[in-house]
A and B are shown apart, each in its own frame.
Chain A
Amino acid sequence: MAMNGKGEELDASKLKVLEFDGIVVGGGGSGLMASLQLAQSGFKTAVVSKVFPTRSHTVSAQGGITCAIQSADPDDDWRWHMYDTVKGSDFIGDQDSIEYMCQEGPKAVFELEHMGLPFSRTEEGKIYQRAFGGQSKDYGKGGQAERTCAAADRTGHALLHTLYQANLKAGTNFLSEWFAVDLVKNGDNQVVGVIAFEIETGEPYFLKSKATVLATGGAGRIYQTTSNAMINTGDGTGMVLRAGFPVQDMEMWQFHPTGIYGHGTLVTEGCRGEGGYLVNKDGERFMERYAPNYKDLASRDVVARSMMLEILEGRGCGPNADHVYLKLDHLGPEIVHKRLPGITELSKTFAHVDPVEHPIPVVPTCHYAMGGIPTNVHGQVLTQATDGTDNVVHGLYAAGEAACVSVHGGNRLGGNSLLDLIVFGRSAGLHIENALKDGITLSKATNDDIDQALVNLNRVNISSTGEDVATVKAELQKNMQLNFGVFRTGDLMEKGLVELETIREKTQNIHLTDKSSRFNTARVEALELLNLIEVAQATAVCANERKESRGAHARDDFQERDDENWLKHSIYFADTKEVTKRDVNFRPKTVQAFQPIVRSY
């Protein structure tokens, strides 16, 4: 029975049921890595994706995969990469996870190469690696490293297409253009699948599974200006919060330094890795002042803040002095065309300049959520008991940007997101594979359990009056942009929190005017708004609560890092809207933990 305009409520008896060993919600890099692992092992696997998989946002990643594969430098060491990542995270990245990622990374990168990923090559025929921000040799003592494995400046595209192709080969079932609405949770607090509908027909289903992986990506669309695709609406995060599970470090949003002015589209950090640099209106290479050693390749939070300070202090470019320039014209056409062909296209299209001849106008743009659904290194989702201990949520996994295994802590290094995707997508797949082999027993969901997961969908479907989705979304985005941006203060955040409460009330009362069954994008957008509000409110509450400046979270009223009180993860539950703390892991298995030091570049 397809959903239609008759205002009929759905219940468990009206749903079709499909059953799988494993379902993966999201068809980006981490999802396809997890599904590949399962499908190759012969398990009945489905990828549920609201877009055709190669439309997922991984496709936009440009610069590369940071990983110590010892191509550019035969002496490179994953421990140096680990050190950089811990430092980049401003010391709230979990060191057991970072260790796992940096150590396992090379294996995963070579696997991708064997699958056919068209990496750029060195003269010796090895994978090409370029310099990226925050990269060092010898634990910060050996100067700039070149550690980011690249396929020109289209690494994400190459990666995602390769993974889609490998999944076709492995026989993964694709439920393409299906929208997952909510998790189905049984009486034992275990997750046994999701409610989803096929967008083309409007037919609702209960997708039953022994393991559900949330690989739903980011949620940059809570902000007005973002590099994120329009589909990045935090769907998995919304589902988890509504199911009563927590999220972690949601105040930590990365603003990427080089979004194209007026549009938000990204040009890769690889531009600076290849020798580009930023200038203010006086033509001054201002990063030399803020980060004397690493200059334009300091970590992203540092560069973005420096740019904003230049603009706030009146040294911005253009008639409104509201952006700076990224200079590439000194590199010559050879480097620009060969190494950065994609950004040449983008800057011609969106900034109307050819970077070979003119600098690109840029401004920081919301780019990446370091926070997300807390997991262990196996991708198992964690919840926090009242006494503060971690408990595994059986049946539920998360990976990629949606997750917070916490390898990025307070600030992600460039090139570490693609590595995160492949390493932890794979580790979630591996864990599920082993669990399936051992035999998974989850208790059944009752009809009441299923009906509970239909509440939101029903509310949207039967709405007959109420708020306009596009208007409420615009209010939400404006509020987040103004009150929870690059620089934050208590007063503005308090005001923003009050406004968000009003916006939440409106989201509870939205009106879906178009009730048709077939490819109803208005229904999808209404449901996405219900996810955006969950993410926005989690972000806002945590940002106000963390009374210090760390990583991407910069407060005017608490400018110092406070290790005594906040060398911690923040944990947020939607039902209480309260923040608790969780210990950061300082127990790597094979190396000594890196202790917090003053972070300078």
Chain B
Amino acid sequence: MDAIASKSISSINLSIYRYDPDSGKKPYMQDLSIDIPEGQDIMVLDLLNMAKEQDPSISFRRSCGEGVCGSDGMNINGKNGLGCITPLSEALKGNKIVLRPLPGLPVIKDLIVDMKQFVDQYKKIKPYLINDEEKPEREIKQTVEEREKLDGLYECIMCGCCSTACPSFWWNPDKFLGPAALLQAHRFISDSRDTATEERLDQLEDAFSVFKCHGIMNCVSVCPKGLNPTKAINEIKKKLVKRAL
């Protein structure tokens, strides 16, 4: 809370990516000077809301404001993150902050990217429980240990920070599934209630879907929820290799 106060910064230089294809203008960086309340460490999203009061045409997505809905993934001073839970004290370089859309996806307008490719990859992994057995009247039993295997996987908020930080996803967004979709793939492979493990692995067994991950680990360093997609991807690779032997 006090990092800003101690630096006694009261005015921030915000540089924000602007683009509206309908305008006929090329993308450009807009510079704004924004006065922030003293002694408070506000979030990047708060700063954006203040910017929008100056210029209502600035466009970005936002909803929950607490890092759970995954709307406001963006590139903050060069690193992907969520605007609503990134404090200025962490993001600022001097008194300057540069905001750009998530890299690698088509820009619809300003900070808003087209998430279609990202969602299409998610859909490919069949992101739902498959269990064709007859259902019990009550819950399908699962031990505490079995359930623990889903921790670190089910919490994904689909913000897109990881996949859009991944060079492999930039090069092959249609063939490499990307860290977010693969984390989900592993979530269902790991679920003791899912009966389609073999089919799921079959679907991943090609040169691109999983194996284009080269362990760069950008996904891990940007995930706002502290998840580890690289680890999940390695687990999938191990299962595929083990199966082939």
Q: Which residues of A contact B (CB under 8 A)?
A: 51-52, 54-57, 59-60, 69, 71, 110, 113-116, 118-127, 151, 154, 157-158, 161-162, 165-166, 168-169, 200, 229-231, 265, 342, 345-346, 349-350, 352, 469-470, 513-514, 516-522, 525
Contacts and interface: CB of A to CB of B under 8 A. Distances in A.
B21 interface: yes
Contacts of B10: none
Contacts of B65: 229-230, 265
A346 B21 contact: no
B202 to A, nearest CB: 19
B63 A116 contact: no
Contacts of B198: none
A54 B22 contact: no
A52 to B, nearest CB: 7
A358 to B, nearest CB: 13
Interface of B: 1, 20-23, 52-53, 56-57, 59-71, 85, 87, 108-110, 112, 115, 119, 123, 126-129, 131, 135, 137-144, 146-147, 150, 154-155, 157-158, 188, 191, 193-194
B66 A265 contact: yes
Contacts of B70: 54-55
Contacts of A55: 61, 63-64, 69-71
Given A168-B123, A168-B128, A349-B67, A125 B154 contact: no
Contacts of A349: 66-67, 85, 87
Contacts of B193: 116
B63 A521 contact: no
25 contacts: A51-B69, A57-B63, A110-B139, A114-B131, A115-B129, A118-B147, A121-B146, A124-B141, A151-B154, A162-B128, A166-B128, A168-B127, A168-B128, A200-B108, A229-B63, A230-B62, A230-B63, A349-B66, A349-B67, A352-B1, A470-B53, A470-B56, A517-B22, A518-B20, A518-B21
B177 to A, nearest CB: 16
Given A517-B22, A518-B109, A125 B141 contact: yes
B139 A119 contact: yes
B16 to A, nearest CB: 14
Nearest to A116: B129
Contact of A157 (B68, B142, B144, B191): B68
B67 A123 contact: no
B67 A59 contact: no
Contact of B67 (A110, A119, A345): A345
Contacts of A352: 1
Nearest to B119: A52
B128 A519 contact: no
- Grouping DSSP codes into helix (H, G, I), strand (E, B) and loop, the B interface class, with mixed when no group exceeds half, is loop
Nearest to A161: B154
Contacts of A121: 142-144, 146-147
B57 A514 contact: yes
Contact of A522 (B57, B108, B129): B57
A155 to B, nearest CB: 11
Can you list the 8 inter-chain pairs with the closest CB atoms, starting with the nearest?
Answer: A116-B129, A125-B141, A165-B128, A514-B57, A55-B69, A522-B56, A519-B109, A113-B139
Given A54-B158, A110-B139, A157-B157, A516 B22 contact: yes
Contacts of A265: 65-66
A120 B157 CA distance: 19
Contacts of B123: 168
Contacts of A118: 147, 150, 154, 191
Contacts of A516: 20, 22-23, 57
A148 to B, nearest CB: 15
Contact of B137 (A110, A120, A518, A519): A110
Given A51-B61, A513-B56, A518-B109, A110 B66 contact: no
A341 to B, nearest CB: 9
A524 B191 CA distance: 40
Contacts of A522: 56-57
B53 A519 contact: no
Contacts of A154: 68, 155
A318 to B, nearest CB: 12
A550 B126 CA distance: 48
B142 A125 contact: yes
B186 to A, nearest CB: 13
Interface centre among A51, A119, A122, A158 (most CB of B within 10 A): A51
Q: Which of B108, B109, B129 has the most CB atoms of chain A within a 10 A radius of its CB?
A: B129
A118 B155 CA distance: 10
A239 B52 CA distance: 26
A350 B1 CA distance: 9
B155 A59 contact: no
A520 B64 contact: no
A59 B68 contact: yes
B129 A158 contact: no
B39 to A, nearest CB: 11
A277 B235 CA distance: 41
A60 B141 contact: no
B66 A125 contact: no
Contacts of B85: 349
A516 B59 CA distance: 11
Contact of A60 (B64, B110, B150, B188): B64
A416 B140 CA distance: 23
Nearest to A62: B68
A127 B141 CA distance: 8
A157 B65 CA distance: 15
B114 to A, nearest CB: 8
A328 to B, nearest CB: 18
A120 B191 CA distance: 13
B64 A57 contact: yes
Nearest to A157: B68
A554 to B, nearest CB: 27
Contacts of B131: 114
A123 B145 CA distance: 9
A114 B135 contact: yes
B127 to A, nearest CB: 5
A120 B150 CA distance: 10
A529 to B, nearest CB: 12
Contacts of B147: 118-121
A126 B57 contact: no
A119 B123 CA distance: 23
A521 B64 contact: no
A517 to B, nearest CB: 6
Given A51-B63, A55-B63, A349-B66, 13 more contacts: A55-B71, A59-B157, A114-B135, A118-B150, A123-B144, A154-B68, A165-B128, A470-B53, A513-B57, A518-B109, A519-B59, A521-B59, A521-B60
Nearest to A52: B115
A520 B60 CA distance: 10
B144 A158 contact: no
A511 B109 CA distance: 22
A127 B142 CA distance: 9
A297 B195 CA distance: 41
A56 B191 CA distance: 25
Contacts of B61: 51, 55
